[in-house]
Amino acid sequence: MSLPAPPHSLQPSSRPLIDSFGRHVSYLRISVTDRCDFRCTYCMAENMSFLPKREVLSFEEIETIAAAFVARGVTKLRLTGGEPLVRRDIIDLVNALGRHLGTGGLNELTMTTNGSQLARHAQALAAAGIRRLNVSLDTLDPEKFRAITRRGRIEDVLGGIEAARKAGLQIKINMVAMRGTNDDEIEPMMAWAHAKGMGLTLIEGMPLGEVGIDRVDSYLPLRELRDRLAQRYSLEKLDRTTGGPARYVKVAETGGILGFIAPMSHNFCESCNRVRLTATGQLFLCLGQDDQVNLRDALRDGGLSALDATLDHAMVIKPKGHDFVIDRSAPAPALNRHMSVTGG
b/e code 211-236 from CB counts within 10 Å (16+ = b): beeebeebbbbbeebbeebeeebebe
Average pLDDT for 303-329: 81
What is the C-alpha separation between 269 and 93, in angstroms, rounded? Answer: 30
Number of domains in the chain: 1
**Confidence band, pLDDT 50/70/90 cuts, at residue 17:** very high
Count of Cβ atoms closer than 10 Å to residue 202 Cβ: 23
Long-range CB contact pairs, 221-228, < 8 A, 24+: 221/262, 221/264, 221/265, 222/177, 222/260, 222/261, 222/262, 222/265, 222/266, 223/262, 223/265, 223/266, 224/265, 225/177, 225/183, 225/186, 226/260
What confidence tens digit (pLDDT) does each residue in 82-103 have? 999 999 999 999 999 999 998 8
* pLDDT given at position 243: 65
- Determine if residue 275 is labeled as part of a ligand binding site: yes
- Determine if residue 36 is labeled as part of a ligand binding site: yes
- Determine if residue 72 is labeled as part of a ligand binding site: no
What confidence tens digit (pLDDT) does each residue in 129-171 have? 999 999 999 999 999 999 999 989 999 999 999 999 999 999 9
Domain-located, residue 46: yes
* pLDDT given at position 336: 55
- Determine if residue 272 is labeled as part of a ligand binding site: yes
- CATH code of residue 31: 3.20.20.70
Domain-located, residue 210: yes
What confidence tens digit (pLDDT) does each residue in 199-242 have? 999 998 765 445 455 456 778 889 999 999 999 999 999 987 76
What is the C-alpha separation between 50 and 69, in angstroms, rounded? Answer: 27
Domain-located, residue 35: yes
Count of Cβ atoms closer than 10 Å to residue 23 Cβ: 18
Domain-located, residue 2: no
- Determine if residue 44 is labeled as part of a ligand binding site: no
Domain-located, residue 238: yes
- Determine if residue 328 is labeled as part of a ligand binding site: no
DSSP H helices, the chain, are 59-71, 90-103, 118-127, 142-149, 154-166, 186-195, 215-218, 222-230, 295-317, 339-342
Count of Cβ atoms closer than 10 Å to residue 21 Cβ: 13
The whole domain housing 140 covers 7-342
Contact 334/288 with Cβ under 8 angstroms? yes
- Determine if residue 23 is labeled as part of a ligand binding site: no
**Confidence band, pLDDT 50/70/90 cuts, at residue 328:** very low
- Determine if residue 78 is labeled as part of a ligand binding site: yes
- Determine if residue 146 is labeled as part of a ligand binding site: no
Q: Sign of dihedral through CA atoms 292, 61, 269, 84? A: positive
Contact 39/46 with Cβ under 8 angstroms? yes
Domain-located, residue 1: no
- Determine if residue 206 is labeled as part of a ligand binding site: yes
Domain-located, residue 18: yes
What is the C-alpha separation between 67 and 84, in angstroms, rounded? Answer: 19
The angle that helices 154-166 and 142-149 make with each other, rounded to 10 degrees, is 100
Instruction: Tell me the helices (H) and strands (E) count for the chain, helix number first.
Output: 10, 12
Contact 71/13 with Cβ under 8 angstroms? yes
What is the C-alpha separation between 249 and 271, in angstroms, rounded? Answer: 19
- Determine if residue 286 is labeled as part of a ligand binding site: yes
Taking Cα atoms as reference points, which of 136, 12, 47, 5 lies closest to residue 338? Answer: 47
- Determine if residue 110 is labeled as part of a ligand binding site: no
**Local structure of 223: helix, strand or coil:** helix
pLDDT of 6 > 50? The answer is no
Domain-located, residue 136: yes
What is the C-alpha separation between 304 and 297, in angstroms, rounded? Answer: 11
- Determine if residue 223 is labeled as part of a ligand binding site: no
Local structure of residue 18 (DSSP, 8 states) = B
